[in-house]
Amino acid sequence: MDNAKVLEQLKGEFGDAIIDDVDFRGDLTVIVSLEKLHDIMLYLHDDKALHYDLLSDVVGIDKMPREPRFEVAYVLHSMDDFRRLLVKVMVPIDVEVPTVTDIWNSANWPEREVYDLMGITFSGHPDMRRLLMWDDFDGHPLRKDFPLKGKDFDEKWDPSTIQVL
Amino acid sequence: MAEGKILTINMGPHHPATHGVLRLVLELDGETIVKVTPHIGHLHRGIEKIAENMNYQQVIPLTDRFDYTAATLCNEGYCTAVEKLLGIEVPKRAQYIRVIMGELARIMGHHLWIGSHALDIGAMTVVFYTFRDREMIMNMTEEVSGYRLTPSYLRIGGIAQDITPQFIKDLRAFIKWFPTALEGYNTLLTDNIIWRKRTMGIGKISAEDAINYGLTGPSLRGSGIAYDIRKTMPYGCYEDFDFKVPVGDNGDVYDRYLVRMEEFTQSLNIIEQALENLPEGPVNVDNPLISNPDLGAVQEDISALIRRFKIQCQGPEVPEGEIYHSVEGSKGELGFYLVGDGSENPYRMKVRSPCFILVSALEKMMLGHMLADAISVIGSIDIVLGEIDR
């Protein structure tokens, strides 16, 4: 099944929910609407012909001055004939993205990583905690407005500020 | 202990069998595991953030620090991803040398895996034999690149320098010797009754679950799915070689062990073919905006000197676009999601690390087993924390 057929089938099923498509260097990227994301992902997984059963990665991208600010990209593979599809949604700041962990268990940690480093929350995720940074870390390091040199943890410590829990 | 009482223990981050700084919080009912919570991030260096502030050429040494047991494969993943974004093709000779170095790195990664996996379970002898042979590959890597563990040998558009006659001599000696060494590992483990009892039926995962949990590489192939990116989505020149993709049936620790043992043979087979058919020609793409001029030209030609200076300081300019590219790392699918914005720095680089996903599936494989079997399962998925935490 080639990229053109996949796109045709998707457009036939979802129409306007497929906002845009890009065919770059042999890989098809479809940009879908945030409202329909979960339905489209479920369809991509369950449909007999498409059957994208391996979710390789979830990627958060910050395009800062632009609105909507964030993008979330999903990398899908099919184990039937080893196709690849990239699905992307545009996410404004402080808007939640529906989780796909109920479809692919492999989305669990990548979504947590996106939340941790990019600050995009996934609604319905079973365990939305920080993953790589520690729990009381302030900020999301991969955002473009987060400085490369983070907070100075070596700066002089003032014992009067300590709070006893 | 009173019946039904759950004991919570902390395994790692300094436990020798967790292969680095993985911390597992295990909840035990007697000696049976009822819940596993992995905690990662102890080795988080923020490589993705650092890469955004460097040029494309400077990122290559950072990629060595992902999977440092098979660093050349990470270089290959990154360089081929940038080349895909640039839309260039690397000369045949460079591709063949990449394959040779990549497969040597895979063998090196598997050496470390089988050595430490057996050591964790209690077979101490194997590690001495594998490190003896790993040393041979390290010496060969040093001969061509100057480094042993983190060679940074690949460049965007080619490789750092051509291989030497001494390297070819050493490689021929290695190809001749390695089947004997492999027989030695097999004699020590494959039919060893203690090894079989510790690994058979442990950490079972069905093909369907393995796909759903995102397992790739030898761990997925152990469950019977022949997903090897070298075969299914060939990159570089892997189409030129004739090799088999070994798969298992049961998806347990023993099957994953057998798959990896067979991969030793297949990697050696690929190296042999690549060395036999090594084409002549340049090792870097002929494009002044992308590749370094060779050092000889730099000594004589002022324009080559300027060009080298520009490439070293600025790196290539990469067009606007987004790609995902993956290669078959020694642990599974190593993917790079690259966003270029037309400048000399990557706008965003996301690494799809195979071990990261494998650790998230640990609970699925460990539940219901004994505490001692947790060690077998961790060993069988072959994790490297440098790649998980990035």
pLDDT at residue B122, as a whole number: 84
pLDDT band at A67 (very low <50, low <70, confident <90, very high): confident
Tell me the chain B residues in contact with residue A25 when contact means C-beta distances shorter than 8 Å.
84-85, 87, 321, 323
Predicted confidence (pLDDT) at residue B296 exceeds the cutoff of 80: no
Tokens 């290559």 found at: B60
Whether B239 contacts B96, CB under 8 Å: no
Q: How far is B373 from chain A (nearest CA, A)?
A: 23
Q: How far is A67 from chain B (nearest CA, A)?
A: 17
Partners of A29 in the β-ladder: A22, A86
Return the structure tokens found at B322: 């987004």
The pLDDT tens digits of the residues spanning A83-104 come to 889 999 999 988 889 999 999 9
**What average pLDDT does the structure give for chain A?**
85
pLDDT at residue B226, as a whole number: 87
Q: What is the mean pLDDT of residues A106-118?
A: 91
Q: How many angstroms separate the CA atoms of B45 and B389, rounded?
A: 7
- Across the interface, which of B50, B87, B232 has its CB nearest the CB of A82? B232
The pLDDT tens digits of the residues spanning B146-203 come to 888 888 888 888 888 888 999 999 999 999 999 999 998 888 888 888 888 888 888 8
Q: How far is B211 from chain A (nearest CA, A)?
A: 6
CB contact under 8 A, B357 and A109: yes
10 Å Cβ neighbour count for B95? Answer: 22
Return the structure tokens found at A89: 């949604």
- Across the interface, which of A27, A61, A132 has its CB nearest the CB of B323? A27
Strands annotated E in B113-191: 154-155, 158-159
CB contact under 8 A, A106 and B212: yes
Predicted confidence (pLDDT) at residue B384 exceeds the cutoff of 80: yes
ipTM: 0.85
pLDDT at residue B171, as a whole number: 92
Q: How many angstroms separate the CA atoms of B199 and B186, rounded?
A: 15
Return the structure tokens found at B15: 């436990």
Residues 6+ apart with CB under 8 A from B309: none
CB contact under 8 A, B87 and A25: yes
The pLDDT tens digits of the residues spanning B218-246 come to 988 888 888 888 888 888 888 888 888 99
pLDDT band at A36 (very low <50, low <70, confident <90, very high): confident
pLDDT at residue B168, as a whole number: 92
Return the structure tokens found at A57: 């990665």
- Report the b/e string of B197-206 with b at 16+ CB within 10 A: ebbeebbbbe
Q: What is the mean pLDDT of residues B33-53?
A: 88
Tell me if chain B has a CB within 8 Å of the CB of A156.
Answer: no
Amino acid at B303: S
Q: What is the mean pLDDT of residues B29-39?
A: 89
CA B40 to chain centre: 19
CB contact under 8 A, A75 and B352: yes
Tell me if chain B has a CB within 8 Å of the CB of A31.
Answer: no
CB contact under 8 A, A56 and B333: yes
Tell me if chain B has a CB within 8 Å of the CB of A106.
Answer: yes
Q: What is the mean pLDDT of residues B340-352?
A: 88
Return the structure tokens found at B242: 């004739």
Residues 6+ apart with CB under 8 A from B158: B90, B91, B94, B282, B283, B284, B285, B291
Tell me if chain B has a CB within 8 Å of the CB of A153.
Answer: no
pLDDT band at B100 (very low <50, low <70, confident <90, very high): very high
From the candidates B25, B58, B211, B356, which should be mutated to test the interface with A, based on the most A CB atoms within 10 A?
B211
Of A72, A69, A130, whose CA–CA distance to A100 is shortest? A72
pLDDT at residue B87, as a whole number: 86
Nearest chain A residue (CA) to B215 = A106
**What average pLDDT does the structure give for chain B?**
87
Predicted confidence (pLDDT) at residue A48 exceeds the cutoff of 60: yes
Tokens 């087979």 found at: B269
